[in-house]
Structure 1
Amino acid sequence: MAISGVLQLAASTLAFLLAAVGAKQWAISPTLLKMVFTLILYTIGNLIMLRLVRDFGMASAFTLSALLQLVAVNAIAIFYFSEELPSAQLAGILLAIIAVGLITLAPSK
């Protein structure tokens, strides 16, 4: 993936992470402004993803995005929002990271 792809992936991930934080803030204290802000951020992230899909393919773009979001969203939930996950859920997240990593990074035949 070229530098421009990495930057686009970072931008979409940032948009999705900010949207996830907005969604959590809306869940804590719902307001129309929070909902609109969250929807705008999700839209921006998806528009960037459309370009990534066109340039790098659906499998690569969505798999890398999913892996980055999986790690980052859980880190934000645990460290910023002080959410606690049972060990079974933590194990599931770890297995998901490993699975997506294998799908993304394993050489194809």
Structure 2
Amino acid sequence: MNMQTSFSSQAAQVSFDRRELGMILSLYGRMVAAGEWRDYGISCLSQSAVFSVFRRTAEHPLYRIEKHPALRNRQGMYVVLGMDGQILKRGHELPQVLKVIERKYLRLVD
């Protein structure tokens, strides 16, 4: 019975699907090419999935892109958090939520 319990807890992890990960990695690639980001980490937890981006490996993340399926029908399951943990953007559609980072990138180029 313990084996079944541990298996079901592993199966209950939240993760990004292929489409979501493709969008995030596309943004990540552009930011790496611009010299802004250098590393990332992915965490798949029981309540959420987190994609963290870093300027340097040994730092706190610059941004955390999180997916919380439990909030799907409320304020939206996607959220971008800044380095200080402040919510920068929350919503139902990942491309719309990622625009908060893309806008900052466009300002850096200007």
Q: TM-score, normalised by structure 1?
A: 0.30
| More strand as a share of residues | 2
Q: Which has the higher contact order (CA 8 A, sep 6+)?
A: 1
